[in-house]
Amino acid sequence: MVGDWIEYDIPLWRPPSEASSLLIQASLGCSHNRCTFCHMYKTKQFRVRPEAEVFADLDRAAEAIGPSVRRIFLADGDALVLPTDRMLAILERCFDRFEHLERVTCYATPQNVLHKTDDDLARIRRAGLTMLYYGVESGDDLVLDEIHKGATAEEIAQGAAKAHAAGLVLSATVLLGLAGRDSSRRHAANTGWLLSRMQPEYAAALTITEPDEAEWQWLGVEPPDRVGVNEKWHEMSPWDIVAELRELLANMDMTDCVFRSNHASNYLALSGHLPTDKLSLLDAVDRILRKRDPRFLRPESWRGL
């Protein structure tokens, strides 16, 4: 939910499930901003916005649409990097200005979570931050190192456990196609195992994409030398990606998780609850892989960020 009552620093990104949320930029850019697969914040120098600027945005939005706001998403790339006192002040303002507010969420990296104390996270949760969109990407340490993730699989799992201990809900994202064809099965299996260890309440699989020339121009940056781990990720066909999705699902041992692959970047849209729907999802993927009918897949021209 955006409007001319706030002057945003573009580009502005949010998770698909936050389409109806009020977007408030608590920070600009990404504090890490070195992942090879991600171009979202390459045009921005990371900074924490002054408290007065954030409060002014909240106040203007409250005057314009206050009664209709049920959800707020704190942008940009990893708002949890904010100092705890700053985050608490923003959350207090959110709930003061929007009487019907039900939840506040943000992106977070494993580094963000691990740098907070247990008490910091508990205070932030009590103040009203309910869920973190948690970037996992891969459960394979070789892949994580090659994409410059800045965290190991062990650290990602530790961050997830720490967030859960504070009462925060996790929505974890992983990337299909990231490791290329040769390492596809290893990447998928290790990612499934890591998700099983983390037990996020939500898990989403996206597929790595590279912007076309027009998108790079819109972003205003030069294309990077590489987007995935190596050039072999270009060699993965849509069916290779679907097979990787199947391997990921097969290695996910979840107790209570909503799983989706319905992001616009994906070739095959799946949605279900694990473990209840695991066998039916695997059966559906197997049938599609046997038939290899392209009509089952999202056309290349429809895929996007």
With 60 as the cut, is the pLDDT of residue 221 above it? no
Identify the domain containing residue 194 by its residue range: 16-298
Q: How far is CA 27 from CA 24, 42, 51, 238, 293, in A?
A: 9, 15, 10, 36, 45
Q: Please state the domain count of the chain.
A: 1
Q: Kindly state whether residue 190 falls inside one of the protein's structural domains.
A: yes
Question: Does a structural domain hold residue 241?
Answer: yes
Instruction: Give CA–CA dist 300/41, Å, rounded.
Output: 24
d(CA 119, CA 10): 34
Position 125 in a domain: yes
The count of C-alpha atoms lying within 13 angstroms of the C-alpha of 75, restricted to the half-sphere facing its C-beta, is: 24
pLDDT given at position 105: 98
Lowest model confidence (mean pLDDT) among 83-92, 209-218, 281-290, 291-300: 209-218
Burial 60-74 (b: 16+ CB within 10 A, else e): bbbeeebeebebbbb
Domain-located, residue 140: yes
Which CATH number characterizes residue 37's domain?
3.80.30.20
259 forms bridges with which residues in the sheet?
A: 203, 272
257-274 pLDDT, tens digit each: 999 998 888 999 999 999
8 found inside a domain: no
Q: Are strands 271-274 and 257-260 parallel, antiparallel or unpaired?
A: antiparallel
pLDDT > 90 fraction of the chain, expressed in percent and rounded:
72
93 is a domain residue? yes
Distance CA 218, CA 179 (A): 27
For residue 293, give the amino acid letter: D
Rounded to 5 degrees, φ, ψ at 146 are -70, -25
CA distance 288 to 96: 50
Q: 219 in a domain, yes or no?
A: yes
Residue with the bigger pLDDT between 141 and 234: it is 141
Dump pLDDT digits (tens) for 158-211: 999 999 999 999 999 999 999 999 999 999 999 999 999 999 999 999 998 765
Instruction: Answer yes or no: is pLDDT of 8 > 70.
Output: yes
With respect to residue 208, please indicate whether it lies within any of the assigned structural domains: yes
pLDDT for 236: 87
For residues 104-117, give the mean pLDDT.
Answer: 97
